[in-house]
Structure 1
Amino acid sequence: MTLLTTPMGAPATTAMLTDHYEFTMVRAALRSGTAFRRSVFELFARRLPEGRRYGVVAGVGRALDAIQAFRFDEETLNYLLERNVID
């Protein structure tokens, strides 16, 4: 898989579509030994557009494929290490 880069040179992988909080939580889980337990996560929309009473869900298969393929490669890990985001 060839990585794209952002204008600032950061690797643009799906693993980077997160915020610093998530990396902090992974660090805590690794340190406490809970990182390899079976876990449950949610994928949701925060709110429906104004005037909508229900939502239609599409793309669940694509979301599951993306989660299944989610990986950190060496280049991305080095990027995060160099910036002290992970240790």
Structure 2
Amino acid sequence: MSPATRQLQAHFLPRLLTHFRQDHDDLDLSLIMPSSDMIEDLIASQQYDVGLAETPVPRAEDALARARVITPADLEGRPMAVLF
């Protein structure tokens, strides 16, 4: 797990969810920190609605890894997960 992900899990998300919960106390919220593979399984099985997971580090030869700005057109034809 990257240092950025640890910071997100340990500091940013708990504070964000605390503020969100104040306005939406009717929702059932939980913050768990499983592996990215487990998060993918929980979302795919519809046990959870939202999850944040690390993805593999892009390869240096990938044009997107070197891009300063990525547009929706740059993502055309690339695999991605979308949650509506």
Query: Do both proteins adopt the same fold according to a TM-score greater than 0.5, normalized to the shorter chain?
Result: no
| TM-score, scaled to structure 1 | 0.25
| TM-score, scaled to structure 2 | 0.26
Q: Which has the higher contact order (CA 8 A, sep 6+)?
A: 1
